[in-house]
Amino acid sequence: MTDSAKNPVSVSIIGGSGYTGAELLRLIAKHPHFRLVQVVANRNAGKKIEDIFPHLRHLNLPDFITFEEMNFDGVELIFCALPHATSQEIIVKIPEGMKIIDLSADFRLESIEEYERWYGQKHIAPSLQEKAVYGLTEIYHKKIKKGSLIACTGCNSAATLYPILPLLKEGVITDDNLTINLGAGVSGAGRDAKQNIIHAEVSEGVKPYNVGKHRHIAELEQEFRKASNKKIDITFIPHLLPQNRGVIVSIPLSLPASLVHKTLEVFYEDSPFIIMLPIEEVPATQHVRGSNFCHIGVVSDHNKNRSVVISVLDNLIKGSAGQAIQNANIMFDFDETSGLLESPIFP
């Protein structure tokens, strides 16, 4: 049966009033195979979506409701876009057998102990954790297709894993330590008001944050270990960028650029959203803004036996809502590009 012949999938969103919720609304509303039936946002329940997101006024969207008002009859897929800890408290109340795509951190870590260590609170759904599939689409395509609970990755994690996992899987990287320099736009910190991300605190400057203790380190360690069968020591240096969207990662490697580039090019040759740039071309966040694409570049160091691999993606799309929808396409046997082929916005 072709995609066009299939009945639309009935979709609900829980947590529809944050940044990733807004992107889920925007993308799902025009998706050719999804039909949005309910949007939960407890703090804004009873309000029209256009009152919270005026840019979506032209779309025919349902009003916000509370979780208690949800009707699960006929719902085939739920996107959960709540903060960590809140997400698992809600997901345990969802009827069994429902397909769920979670955009929080609650089910990303396979080890309950690691989750509790990094997030500082008890995991209340270990039985659900056992069946969760890590949602890095291009790496876990087969598992996602068969999964019922998909734990989407962190945006910083995705931008880092895409260029490094293939090199580990193919045995190209033999070092036991990696230095990861990352820059992230302020929308990655969420929509709630915080002093450190207001305009006057962020504009006209760049500053490191959570050096050596960023929670995404746990994801990186987990996935690096699975890809290489050994522990990779990570020096992770994130920086807050004075821009709304975008993640850029640069990682120095003790490998020639030609080897790195060829390995990644072959690995991603059938991945429509991972774009390998010509060797020596440097990617930029503005070239993927508003899209589900990840651009990867490989640049030679002055030492011919060293190189730098650089990746960029939009944290709200490829790093979150777009990744979630790409995973949903795979789960329901649609073309994985369905509803996601919008070109990046420029300038």
Catalytic position from the list 80, 152, 155, 294: 155
Mark whether 155 is an active-site residue: yes
From the list 153, 154, 96, the residue with the least C-alpha distance to 125 is 96
Six token digits for residue 215 = 């929670």
Please, are residues 327 and 146 in contact by the beta-carbon 8 Å criterion? no
Please, are residues 231 and 144 in contact by the beta-carbon 8 Å criterion? no
Instruction: Point out the residues that are catalytic.
Output: 155
